[in-house]
Structure 1
Amino acid sequence: MSTSSRPSGPRALARERTMERIIELGNAQLAEQGVAGLSVREIARGLGVVSSAIYRYVGSRDELLTLLIVDGYTDLADVVDAAVAGVGAHGAAGDGDPRTRFLALGDAMCAWAIAHPERWTLLYGTPVRDYSAPAETTNADGTRVMQAVLRIAADAAARGRAGAAGTEEGLAPAVTSLLESHLDEFGIEAGAETEFAALTAWSSLVGVISAHVFGQLGADAVAVGEHILHSQVRMLAELIAPR
């Protein structure tokens, strides 16, 4: 949060600190017990306040879930942005090379998921029963990594290094329409084929990481999962920024 956007006054600052502590305690619950163990009353106990007092900050378990989802998306996206910036957007290490940036993005996603499996599960695992994340609250941060992938794909295409096309027959009109309605709002200049390649690369990243985090490939694969993910990220780079 920038200095100009930080709350002013002791009450506002106290509330901000309390909200930060609530998120910290919620993430600790996630790490220890998973989504099923989340409890607003336990958060109150951790804060050292009576259970009724916590509802001035978090009105329900659903609100707590939303706070943790936004925090997870934000943290993941911040880590990804830092990794991409670290290999250089323009003129720094990697000279802004699209493939180098995608590899940094993918490796950062993998590392974050491995370090925070329960937070990853909250974002990309089985939907929580009887809970629906409010799009108006979660979409902005939830789409930041997707936007980063699209930005890299568009840059690769502009440099004449576009990846694989959608299909030999071209994209179905319904797919093109869907891409236009959802991805064009990002304001990134890219054709439908590039958008589709970026969407495929991003969703595939989520898929291969989830397969590792959820142990879907079996115990033997989990033991070497980081090596598998390393190679999968490089294979997926061919979709949007081939060698």
Structure 2
Amino acid sequence: MSRIGVFGGMGPAATVDFMDKLVTLTPARRDQDHLPVVVASLPHVHDRSRSILGVGKDPLPQLLEGIDFLNGAGVGVIAIPCNSSHHWYAQMSERSKVPILHIAKACVAAIPKEAAGKVAVLATRGALASGFYQAALDERRIPHGVPDAATQPFVDDCIRQIKAGEMKDGGASLGKALAVVKEQGATAVIMGCTEIPIAAKYTDTLGLHLMDSSLELARAAVNYALERKWHRPGWDA
């Protein structure tokens, strides 16, 4: 029996939100219909965004330790509900014995044609500097933009506030960012940090089409497991 491996803790609330989505997306009517999951919540991984920007410690050794742990637990696929960590996707994939789902590719692939006018990418400064969302959008030839210097602080505040458990404040900060990008012509928004979908529950989304990276990663994980019938291990019910 194979299992979904979840490398979480970056941050803990985002991991809980991801797990809720994983369970909700699974077509189950009883406990035994659900998918087996191993969760490694490792919150002490160094700040990914600060490292990408060159002002923080390198988290790669800790990321690889998390990959090793899940591989040792017998998982068949790994999902990492932390966008900025995907800056090191190639190194983690090289280390892993099993496939690692790519959060940005899963999210961008799910953008419907009617919402692909101009996409604003809201994410940590590190994820934006890394550019993996921009690259995924370029592959699909979807026009896109990132927050300007006056708007990114709203996104920074939103992420920080959600990590601190300040949900309403996080929603208010996100609302300010959404108002600006809509005024600048965005028709859709990628919530490219897994704290942002939590904040979206506490604000007016102004009619924008919000793409939830956490939700699309969960959907990709569920589909991967269901296709391989991991919810049917052959045991007597």
Same fold (TM over 0.5): no
Task: State the structure with more CA Rg.
Answer: 1
Q: Hey, which of these two has a bigger chunk of helix by percent?
A: 1
Interval containing the TM-score (normalised by the shorter chain): under 0.3
Of Structure 1 and Structure 2, which has the larger fraction of its residues in strand?
Answer: 2
Using the size of structure 1 for normalisation, the TM-score is 0.25
Q: TM-score, normalised by structure 2?
A: 0.25
